[in-house]
Amino acid sequence: MLRSHANSRLHIPGDFIGLNVATSEDPACDDYVMSCVSELGIRALRLDFTYASFGSFQERLIRRVLADGLSVMLHLVTPADEAQRLAFDRNARERWRAFIVRVFDAYGSSVESFEIGSTPNRRRWSGYGIRGYVAAWQIASDIAAGRNLKLCGPNVTDFEPLYNLALLAMMRRRGIQPAGHTDNLFVERAIEPEAYDPRIAGRLLGKALRFDLERKARVLARISAIFGIGETVCAHVSWSGRRIARIQNAIEEKQADYLVRYLMLAAASGALSRVYWGPMIGNREGLIDDGTEEYPATPRVALFDRVFGNVASYKKRPAYFALRNVVRTLHGSQFAGWRVRGDAYVAEFKQSDGTIVHAAWTRDRRVSRLSRFYRDDDLRLARGLDREGRYLDRLPCVISERPMFLTWPAGARVGERPDRSESLAEFTSDRVSNVASVPGYQFVPVSIAGWRGTIALRDGDDFDQRLEQLRPDALDRMREVRVLRDARNRVWVVDDPDTNVKLVIKRSPLRTLPNARSGARLAWNNSSEMIRRGINTPAPIAYFEPRARGARGQCYFVCEFVENAFSARHAFNSFRDGAEKHEGFDKSDVFDVIAIFLRKMHLRGVFHGDLSAGNLLMRPDAAGGLQIFVIDTARAICRIGPLSKRERMLDLMRLCHPLDANNRELLAEAYCRDPEARLPRWRNAALAYYDFKHYLKNASRQFRPRR
């Protein structure tokens, strides 16, 4: 479905994107910060200023910024212990009054605006309660009267509009409402910028209310309009690497993806006058990694008054270069509308020189073929750029969760491709299969000759040729190198006709229930999700299942073959028989590596469900250690958050079955070394139960009648 936007031809200001900056005691840090600001093309900065800032490195940076002619929002912050006293302590109010007078006298004529106070809805961060915040605002407003100063607030964090309404209503009753409405519009808790917020009325009702970033921004803008405030500003937004790490492995890549997607949505909403990204430098959220593990006691959203580390150790993350490209794309452009189909988004902008730029991306785990949006003639004229603004040698086949950009010269007319089937490889539903985000690869969903599925395509590969190599009838004709299983499911190894690696092909009967997902698709989806979460599994290459609903037949899953590997079952059998080494590796080392792998898998929400010892493969790595891969993933369940003790035990009791009691205890102890990955107290009973269940299963086979 295509949709246009109510704010078509919306002008994006040349200072729409701002940046939260700070410095350190080292004057070289000032030079570094200003060099980065210039490289990024940023003209609006937000700096925090508190009681101890006068005469410090913070004031040194402010003077440097103002001397360079940049626009400044000065965020005036009460120390947390002082903020707690403002509601009832006259001396605390007098200290705040003296501070405000001194700041206004020093900078009232040179900064663009002052933001008063910090995160009043997070008392444990800032120290403010509602009464204390309004008291601070009253004092600042009284002093600003007659000075022609622009005061902004109330600096609510996250999307909690009841706080905005309550605070602004109290200010209006006192005749001291702000000139600018600020909010730290995070959407981290929704994970993706486009997702509906699950914290609003729960996951199910939250979807019905449809509170995504765009709607949140418009609600805040509507609140501004209710109180007669002319602008709404997002004063602080970033993505914490720690939050991303809960379910994904490519932390810095996702920070860059989300930055681009957030800013495109925020600009196109037409609801925000400016978005300040930041912090610029920081180990968790920064565009630049400070190279330390230090983090301030007060979160940076409430107070960002200094940076840590040495300039020599600073490293620019992908998000830094992505921001530079977004600034070049957005500032001074016109937003011309949306093209949206399913989970794929294309935002169209027209730059001041007439160049047409389309920013294109999908939700996480999704892809969409470019040919769904564009006519072939338009694609031939387009130039592609990656997320950081580097030109691509050729356009990819698909739009993915990693944003890309398409450009056309001034005067070009880029039409919309109507919804229609494509002859060779029709795109299947956005929600049929999940894909991982792997540099150098595209994952292309296809439907051809009664089959549907997805294939992995390396950048530069010819799509039609690769599809011919991997289609089901071609898979059946490939020369077998080795047969791994030949029963209800047939598994064999072949040489990849296009690379030097070997492939594993698994052919299995298709479930006969209507709308049931095939084992091949489940294996593909779970393997892709494990790769996303940093869990080693053989790289998925393709899957195919019959296209017709309720069809009978076979389905195919293709993945890379793990060379030079041995299974945990072989190692466990050796240890059970008394060996202290297997394939040159000490038993304790093998148990430690397996325990670390399992803890990571379980803490990232992956429940395998069929974790026999044969489904863990191990091989030596280049450093002389062991690398582990998990296979047979069709039954796996991937969720957000760590597994329960029961689920961990269900995986572990299957894995431990070949071991004797003493070695099981050694493996369980290795697993439990991390306090976050405990096992239940009844673990020995669970192991005994599984042994008994396995015994009964084997015994029953002896009494089955022979055919």
Separation CA 635–CA 134 (nearest Å): 55
Whether residue 610 is found in the same domain as residue 683: yes
Instruction: Report the share of the chain in percent with pLDDT over 70.
Output: 94
The answer to whether position 164 is within a domain reads yes
Closest CA to 221 of 376, 431, 7: 7
- The predicted model gives 34-40 an average pLDDT of 98
Helix (H) or strand (E) holding 646: helix 645-655
Q: Which residue segment(s) compose the domain that 678 sits in?
A: 566-702
- Residue in the block written with tokens 């190599």: 469
Q: 419: pLDDT confidence band, cut at 50, 70 and 90? A: low
pLDDT, one tens digit per residue, over 171-203 is 999 999 999 999 999 988 888 999 998 888 766
Looking at 211-363, list the stretches that DSSP marks H as alpha helix, in order from N- to C-terminal side: 213-226, 241-244, 251-269, 318-330
The three-state secondary structure class of 554 is strand
Tell me, yes or no, whether 434 lies in a domain: no
Average pLDDT over residues 601-629: 94
pLDDT at 428: 43
Q: Note whether residue 349 is domain-resident.
A: yes
On whether the CB atoms of residues 590 and 618 are closer than 8 A, the answer is: yes
**In a shared domain, residues 382 and 453:** no
- Predicted confidence band of residue 429 (pLDDT cuts 50, 70, 90): very low
Domain assignment present for 418: no
pLDDT of residue 430: 45
SS3 504: strand
- The confidence score (pLDDT) of residue 2 equals 36
Q: Are residues 188 and 326 in the same domain?
A: yes
Kindly report the pTM of this predicted structure: 0.92
Q: Both 46 and 165 in a single domain?
A: yes
Domain-located, residue 152 = yes
Q: Of 540, 560, 580, which closes a domain?
A: 560
The span from the CA of 3 to the CA of 340, in Å, is: 6
Taking each helix axis from N to C terminus, what angle separates 568-576 and 661-671, rounded to the nearest 10 degrees?
130
Give yes or no for residue 361 having a pLDDT over 80.
yes
CATH number of the structural domain spanning residue 255: 3.20.20.80
Q: Are residues 59 and 205 in the same domain?
A: yes
Residue 372 lies in a domain: yes
The number of distinct structural domains making up the chain is: 4
Domain shared by 103 and 221, yes or no: yes
Both 487 and 615 in one domain: the answer is: no
Q: What is the pLDDT of residues 73-83, one digit of tens each?
A: 999 999 999 99
**Do 492 and 606 belong together in one domain?**
no
Query: Could you tell me the CATH number of the domain that includes residue 508?
Result: 3.30.200
**483 and 522 inside one domain:** yes
How many Cα atoms sit within 13 Å of 538 on the Cβ side? 26
Residue 419: inside a domain: no
Q: Residue 613 belongs to a domain with what CATH number? A: 1.10.510
608 and 506 in one domain?
Answer: no
Specify whether 490 is located in the same domain as 555: yes
Residue 266's alpha-carbon distances to 142, 209, 386, 434, 659, in angstroms, are 33, 19, 20, 26, 56
User: Does residue 422 carry a pLDDT above 60?
Assistant: no
- Please indicate, yes or no, whether residues 487 and 515 belong to a single structural domain of this protein: yes
Output the pLDDT for position 427.
42
- pLDDT of 431: 53
pLDDT of residue 273: 97
Of 514, 534, 560, which residue sits at a domain end? 560
Domain for residue 10, yes or no? Answer: no
Whether residue 338 has pLDDT greater than 90: yes
Q: Is the distance from CB of 560 to CB of 536 less than 8 angstroms? A: no
| Structure token digits, residue 376 | 């072939």
Q: What is the mean pLDDT of residues 585-595?
A: 96
List C-alpha distances in Å: 410 to 326, 351, 459.
Answer: 19, 9, 29
Domain termination residue (choose one: 330, 351, 381): 330
